[in-house]
Amino acid sequence: MTLFMAFLNRRLAQLRHRWIGELSLALLLPIGIYITLGFGLSGGIPKLQGVPQLGWLIPGIVLMVAFAGALIALFHDLFHNRGINGFFCSIYASPHTPTSTVMSLMFSMLPEGIIRSLLALGILQTLLGYGYPFFGQLLFLFLIALAVLLGGMVGLTLGILARDAVASQIAILLLLLSLGFCSEWFVPLNVFPTAIQPLLHVLPTSILVEMGRDLLLNQDSSPVLILVVLGTIALWTVVNSFLFPRVSTE
Amino acid sequence: MEASVSLKKVGKVLNGRSVLAGLSFGIERGSIMAVVGPNDSGKSALLKTIAGFSKPEYGSVFIDGKDVQLRRIETASVVGYMPQRANFDSQLTIFENLQFHGRLYLMAPQLLNSRIASLSDRLGFREFIHDFPHTLSSGYQKRALLARTFLPDPHVLLIEEPTASLDLRAQYEVWDFLQEMRGSKTIIYTTQSIREAERVHDRLVIMDHGKVALDGKLDRLLENAGELFHFQIHFKKLSKELYDNMSKVTTVVSPSQVGEVFDFYAREREVFFDIMKLAIQEELVDYAADKVGLETLIMTSTEEPIR
């Protein structure tokens, strides 16, 4: 807990120094994605009963904001502060296990990720002119938290392993773009070939957005699948704990 | 006296090259050990291995009797490691960096803030404490880095090049600070500066190619080196044949040719006259003869020259 607080305070201090940029991004990014996708993909979005059509898109955008926000922040932190800078070497030299450090780093992203996503959810509902059920939104918070953790894990791995800044940024862009489409964030999975649809359905990111839509659009939900997401996060934590000592050996 | 840090046959290989070759020695509690050596002699690898974040291929390092690889968390809490280059989080101010570091070591907030205040005062960077690291000169960055290392009050300090890039005044301040710790902290520092090593040490280790070339107190090392003399004879023209003849004299140690200068060491003054007999026909420009100090002792102990 103390280590988590150390990382959380560090993150808050970083945000304090560039709050204008962070806030602008938090406000403008969801609007930008919403308008782009709303105009561009409205033909492929399923029609909903009693809910504006673009209401289908919003859970995907919010989860993407949560996932991508944590991924980019942790990737940048690790990539920038290891290697030549070597800051993470001083963290590795402190009396903590790699697992506790990795978990603290990841959980320190939760408050800002949740706030950023809630802000996006609020803005998008205002633009849509429709409010999702309150209880559904409350449960959706849990999915946002999982998306932040999942994105944080990917960001950590990429940040530890990346060698080249430009190549890594292109890789992240491609990853987010492909996840955006393959995880049902922006388009329904039935636009993909039937053969690969079952595979895409079990992606943790697909599970999150499907459950999110279930909660916000009052559809049937299958909470068992959340175990796949939790399992993925747990497994990825183990992998990152194994990789983390690399930050000190450069 | 009790050993605070001990190494048992520690070996490390990097990119197929042995950077530490079976080192075994102990370091007394409260003593200051200077590790001197040329580039790539294994100084930095030694400190990182003692700190526990570079794993040796074989052998073990113990701090207070605990294996640093097997009980890393316990040993890491009593070790402070200062790298050669400032490695602050560039997105935080110096104060925030120090606060984060203290929190990493689970320091209570009140103690942490008072330690930051006293260390920044003592090391003379308090007026810059709310600045970002990249806005400070490398000298002030170094002072802040030293403060960060001392912040959690570790009793074993591993410091790489403590005064590199500092001006003369700051160098004295840092050495005064480290001298104050003598007796209460075990300090191991690396340096390429022979003058620094001569000034502050209880023990001197000279490393070369991952091995300990010399180990002991300076006066003892010089004593053991015996009456070693350094000669330089400047000829108007030093031919290869003459150089070869003079180098073949069995009492000549480490001969080398620098331009038209024949440079060599010898255990007796008389060797100089033996050499002069060989060069009696040649035209001399100048000559020099010195008794060796640490600098020449290192030159004769390592293959690479150091400043």
Nearest CA of chain A to the CA of B63: how many Å? 14
pLDDT confidence of residue B257: 86
CA distance B263 to B93: 52
Cβ separation of B101 and A87 shorter than 8 Å? no
Beta strand segments in chain A, E:
none
- Chain B residue with CA closest to A7: the answer is B100
Cβ separation of A10 and B90 shorter than 8 Å? no
ipTM: 0.86
CA distance A172 to A226: 25
Cβ separation of A94 and B91 shorter than 8 Å? no
Could you tell me if A197 lies within 8 Å of chain B, comparing CB atoms? no
CA distance B214 to B27: 15
Of A18, A87, A249, the CB nearest to B88: A87
Cβ separation of A93 and B99 shorter than 8 Å? no
CA distance B79 to A40: 58
Instruction: Mention every residue, 6+ apart, whose C-beta is less than 8 A from residue B43.
Output: B35, B36, B37, B160, B190, B207
8 Å CB contact between B144 and B163: no
Q: Tell me if the pTM is above 0.95.
A: no
Length, in residues, of chain B: 307
Residue pLDDT tens, chain A, 250 long: 688 999 999 999 999 998 888 888 778 888 888 888 877 777 777 777 788 888 888 999 999 999 999 999 999 988 888 766 678 888 888 889 999 999 999 999 999 999 999 999 999 999 889 889 898 899 999 999 999 999 999 999 999 998 888 888 899 999 998 988 898 888 888 888 899 988 998 899 999 999 999 888 876 667 788 899 999 999 999 999 999 888 875 4
Measured between beta carbons, which residues in chain A are less than 8 angstroms from residue B76?
A: 93-96
Cβ separation of B81 and A93 shorter than 8 Å? yes
CA angle, B262 then B247 then B266, to 5°: 75
Determine the distance from the C-alpha atom of residue B17 to the mean position of all C-alpha atoms in its chain, rounded to a whole number.
Answer: 21
Q: Report helix, strand and coil shares of chain A as percent, to nearest 5.
A: 80, 0, 20
Could you tell me if A249 lies within 8 Å of chain B, comparing CB atoms? yes
Residues from B in contact with A at Cβ < 8 Å: 51-54, 72-74, 76-77, 79, 81, 83, 85, 87-93, 96, 99-101, 103-106, 148
Count Cβ–Cβ pairs < 8 Å, chain A vs chain B: 72
Cβ separation of B53 and A10 shorter than 8 Å? no
Could you tell me if A21 lies within 8 Å of chain B, comparing CB atoms? no
Cβ separation of A94 and B100 shorter than 8 Å? no
Instruction: Mention every residue, 6+ apart, whose C-beta is less than 8 A from residue B141.
Output: B86, B88, B133
8 Å CB contact between B221 and B212: no
Cβ separation of A96 and B53 shorter than 8 Å? no
Which residues sit opposite B82 in a β-bridge?
A: B159
How many C-beta atoms surround the C-beta of residue B288 within 10 A? Answer: 11
CA angle, A236 then A208 then A194, to 5°: 100
